[in-house]
Structure 1
Amino acid sequence: MNTLKQQINLLFLALSFFSRLPVPKTLKYSPQLLNQSGRYFSLVGVIIALLLLAFYSVVELFLPTSIAVIILMIASLLLTGAFHEDGLADMADGIGGGLTVSKRLAIMKDSRLGTYGTVTLVSALGLKYLLLVELAQLQLLISSILVAYGLSRAVAASLIYEMHYVSDNETSKSKPLAMQQTLKELYLLLFIGALPLVLLPSHTIIITIFLLMVFRFAFKYWLNKRIGGYTGDCLGAAQQLTELLIYLVILANSPGALL
């Protein structure tokens, strides 16, 4: 995969999997190509962020900030198909409601939404709304979304490199899924995801990286204890939780946070 055309195909493949953005009908697909497209998952997040921010910059000209943020969140859900939010809810249902590994995995694959998933999803969306409104009022929303959308996907997808994929049900909605990752692909994934960090103050960058490393270690340990690895739903949950953590860190370290 050394030519520009082949790399563009991988990017479009990643876009087709993680968003509802249109891609060329001539797109080439295979399980091997899907695995290789993982290197661009964080770039997909940056692309989605840029589209959302362009849309938000127009909406906020005509509507109050609180309403503009709600519309931004709805647009994000439409662009991604609520892909990651669905994973968060399913993981909460599975791990919260199952007493054994097999039961937890079975619940995750169930399309119905349970109490744990509902409470987790509502809490996550409510917290995200409040954080984005606060960040918008501090003129930090643009940089925060650019950082969070790319970096959160990088952290989530990086789990593929060193964790075991535990779901083997061919009817699972998490398939197809990139389940292999080389060290070079991991480095590229993280490099692209970390690039927007230059928009933040140096002390915020250091704190963000440190806390994300702590979160990744703790989340990986927790998943291994609960289900012996990861599923596609767990990666979606990791993305959502990482995104929220990034917003919290940026807000907590902003000059006007205590005002």
Structure 2
Amino acid sequence: MTFRILNAGDTALTIEFGDRVDRRLLATVAALDEALAQAIGKGGLHGVVETVPTFRSLTVIYDPLLTSRAEIEPAIRAAISSSAGASRRVGRQWQLPVCYGDQIAGCGPDLADLAVACGLPPAEVIRLHASCTYEVYMLGFLPGFAFMGDLPAVLSRPRRSEPRLRVPAGSVATAGTLTAIYPWPSPGGWHLIGACPVPLFSAAWQQAALLLPGDRVSFRAVGEAEYASLVAEQETTRRSPLPPISFLVGGDQTVR
């Protein structure tokens, strides 16, 4: 297994396995993350604060007053060797509703332009986007923002040349080979094709992010009336101690 370990300041190091988005690299990162979590759970790696997985690398953050790279690196190298070939966590499966297009103001304004760029009618873009089961590759950018792949190749387009200053929360978007849902209002340069009413993050939940790496997500197209009804149903979900597990359809259904 090819990798390199890089310093990331004086409180972290990064184990880098490649330079691209690739399912094999994702599996390697996930296996190492799990191996380190088990080591920490058994009392090893004293001084490690947290691990941060990405598409192709894993960053290990540590307290420099308690440990150092020289102290933790041997255990990390051992974990890399022991995790090689390990199976990934089998995640949960979700089916999330999406109101596609500009039926909901501000949430799907790019559907028509994306359809033109792909040489398809908007209805076919919707059908293709909703026909896949996507895997959550990683979380980042915003709390609860899940990068999901892989988008059908015909829908793959670069990000917008001019990012928006404000993307509404719940916006369903695509960029490159990925799709995502914006959990919060924020700037963003992805193509906005619809709206999802399901909250993706709450500090009231035991696991604050609804979607986790390894989870699988499919989308179900809904009309404006059903979307409005779902929004009303979900108004109290962020404050509830339980996430919206009614959208779970398979896999590990442990309440977090």
Q: Is the structural similarity TM-score above 0.5?
A: no
Larger radius of gyration: 2
TM-score by length of 2: 0.28
TM-score by length of 1: 0.28
Whichever structure has more helix as a proportion of its residues is 1
